[in-house]
Structure 1
Amino acid sequence: MVIKIFGSYTSADSPLVQLICERLEINSTIKFYLFERDANFLMPINDEIKMAIDEADYFMLFWSRNTEDRGWVTGEFDYALEREAQQREAGRKTNFIIIIRLDDTDLPIDLRRHRHLNYKPEVLNRLRAFLEKGAGNTGPLINTPSPLRSTAQDIMSPNIIFCYPDDTLEHAYFIMDSRGIRHLLVLDRKDETVQGFLSKRDILKRMVPPVDSNITIPPEEADKMGKIPVKDIMTPRRSLIRAKQNTPLLEVLEKLVRKPIIDGVFRRISAVPVIEDHKAFGIISYIDIFKYIEGNGLIPSNLTAESLVPANQQLINVLPQDTLETCRFKMDSAGVRHIFVIDDNQHFVGMVDDLTVLHLMNDQIDLEIGEMKVKNFMQQAENLRWIRNTTLLDEIVQIFLQSRNITALPVVDLESKTAIGIVSYVDVLNAFYNHWSSQ
């Protein structure tokens, strides 16, 4: 049986596309239909192209930096979507569309839910085998990772970036900042066994002054806090929530979304070290999970920001004219890390986070600081990254991946201009966990 594949591409990528197709066709039953039409890019797709797509077993889109502004590729893809939808309505579970990334250009959000593969010469044999095996049936076309089969080893960052117990917080912060990471393993200087774990938040709670405020930590105080040894604030090995290399992804997700008891206290964690026999093999942060799920097109569709806001989330507000002490009291009473600032019309105008409050309330800075007005230290709404109540989950994941210092996003109803909640990285992880654990 001949396996017919319609190839959609731009003329700029023609040499590479031709090479890929020729290699896939060698000693196989695969046959490509390639139709180059750059000279007539304004015309809609004609009946010949529609017929070729209708008769194809697969539609293969070759994506690169040359593709996005090519209207005829969009037309072919839209028609392929219609074909795929018709097959689903007929009761056939289909993997009709496959996307081959020819370079490192990001796929648009609406393409990421389809099967996609990064082109490397060594993957062609595997791709050919799956195309031949999957033609005409309901099986997977490509060896696409499954959340239900994935393990810590598939997801973790294997690069072991670490510090030592006697290093200073200042040095640990420099390592994190220069490497663009939020977590460090703490290793013994002699045998490199794991001694503990340190997060950027652990350091920020102690030595970094608040953002967008009129208060600065005196140089002598900053220097004193920066000299604190890592071992004084790290999570020690005995208290670590950890994984092994073969720990299932769902179990890792559960560790991140369920507050574990650490030293008798419920604590939220944002990363899980992968450790066996006291030796470090990697770290799994929420960013690693987002990258893995997004990169493999595994994000559940049709979930919006509003649906991600926890049903029991308390919406705590202050006014710009309220005091820092009022802000602190409300946050402590509700046990929240963020508080909304609203005006007299209930409109969302800003936000305050717990780290800012923590630093401002430091008695060593100013005994009268509790009377400071919220408007003097809040983050203004126009300077915040926030999302609409209708924003889709895949776009939310992209924001967290692009802005890694952001761990929570205000959700705003544009019609009423009111804040309806906060979506944190934990809420997104929880959506993934609930979606896959129910399968």
Structure 2
Amino acid sequence: MIVVRLALQSLRNRWITVLLTILAISVSVMLLLGVEKVRSGARDSFAGTVSGADLVVGARSGAMQLLLYSVFRIGNATNNVTWRSYEDIVSRPGVAWSIPLSLGDSHRGFRVIGTTLDYFEHFRYRDGQALKFAAGAPFDDLFDAVLGSDVASQLGYATGDKIVIAHGVGSLGPQHDDLPFRVSGILARTGTPVDKSLHVSLKAIEAIHVDWRSGSRIPGQHTPADRLRQMSLPPKAITAAVIGLKSRLQVIGFQRSINEYRAEPLSAVLPGVALQEMWTLVGTAETALLGVSAMVVVTSMLGLSAMILSTLNERRREIAILRSLGARPLAVASLLVGEATLLTVTGIAIGTAALYAVLFIARPFVDKQFGIDIGVQPPSANDALLLSAILIGGVLAGFLPAYRAYRMSIASGMMVRT
């Protein structure tokens, strides 16, 4: 207790330097823990983009490519899956539900997805949450569209508004302006690519392409909307499908049967496995970012040691007086180590509290802008390990000045230097 009291009194006499040192340690703690929180939040958000799905099926391609274009709406498919093959696959006894997806068109930079009402019933995200409507309802008419929350907010749409879909994913592609869609519903925010998508029926995708061939409108041909509503318009092909099985014990066998499908070359991937492959690729960047954060912490620890060392000359008389009053060299060294430890603990406490305050304030903004849900949970075991490492570093930072003080004699402290 005497050592702590002396350390507090000594630090109080140098409060400006002490505050700057604590600030440096706090910022380094915020950076290191913040990077870890964002990293884990990004992983959890990506993993939660689709929840409860056992397989994603598409044309033969790499696992990551299939996952990126079907779930994250990034990139394009190498080929389509025929509707006959899709019906054959989902009619198997082990399939509990399926969601067909047809991509290829867009609206002002946002992807248009052709699907069925099963999408709104079975699609799950972030630990099994179901899609909810902020306004309106699922598509009912042939030319109804359901918008993601970002599409509606950024483009200023409301239910009942008319929109025109463009052919292809380019913003300057030809327009299906002869067949406008009505906004029937707007989905509540999910923090996933669903927010940046427009959803129409598979029949609607076929309807707007009745008068098109090879990516161009057939000159002089126009089928009225009322007539299209009376046509059957069965889908010819889809881009991918999300499938849920009755038993997860069947996943590996079901995946193998699709990968060996003889009617056409198909691929079936497990979303979790494909995501793990993706994180393996970006793991180098994560490690580099953590390394930079760790170097900032090391720099703050060196600053702590330099600060205590720089004050030793000013404290020569103080140390000599303590020695003359009976304090042993080890007690003086313990005093300096105690100061370093106290500064480190204070910096850790302030940095951790400041980080959680920033996360609490910035969480809605980050979720809205980037779709990353940074959980504000108590420090995890990994966080505790990082904080322990910082604390040990702070204690070690006090050893060099403690050793210097340990070697000081009473005579050198009492000597007046000119």
The structure that has the greater radius of gyration is 2
Taking structure 1 as the reference length, the TM-score comes to: 0.20
Whose RCO is larger (CA < 8 A, sep 6+)? 2
Task: Give TM-score scaled by structure 2 length.
Answer: 0.21
Please identify which structure carries the higher helix content. 2
